[in-house]
Amino acid sequence: MPYRVTFVCTGNICRSPMAEWVLRQHVEDEGLEVEVDSSGTGGWHVGDEADERTVAALRRAGYRSAHIARQWEPSWFDRYDLIVALDEGHRRALRSMAPDEASRAKIRLLREFDPDAVPPDLDVPDPYYGGSDGFDLVLKQVEAAMPGLLDEIRSALKER
């Protein structure tokens, strides 16, 4: 059975799909048995494609992207091994929906995996209302967290 990771942001059109496609590329490159997807805490963009600025930032960096937004469902806690929130607000929302402590323990912040990120400033900022530079910053923060996230995934896979 594959290890399952999901990313969660607000509308599932900017930050979480970007993190999803960056991690997808890394696990494919390494041949890891990992399924990756994403969703949002809100339903405003359900059915929409990723923001064009997200897609552009990913493509400039050499990543693929194909995405349709969806909203997080509380029934999904059992489906995932690791639930990665993009900011503290998302983590709080997910924790409030979690049915038990085991589910809450699966929820982490993406920047917890970045050794250069300094608590308490672990939020990936929402680039939606800004220009393309905000999307480039998000991509930089996502990429900075990938080595630590991949270490976490490799460790979990070894324990199986």
Active site (annotated) includes residue 9:
yes
- Contacting residues for 103 by C-beta, under 8 A, at least 6 apart: 77, 78
Q: What angle do CA 5, 109, 22 make, to 5 degrees?
A: 50
- Of 48, 126, 136, 154, the catalytic one is 126
Cα–Cα distances in Å, from 136 out to 75, 97, 98, 125?
33, 31, 32, 11
Q: Strand, helix or coil at 76? A: helix
Beta bridge partners of 3: 34
Return d(Cα 6, Cα 72) in angstroms, integer.
10
- Contacting residues for 144 by C-beta, under 8 A, at least 6 apart: 111, 114, 116, 117
Active site (annotated) includes residue 14:
no
- Of 14, 15, 87, 91, the catalytic one is 15
Active site (annotated) includes residue 123:
no
Active site residues: 9, 15, 126
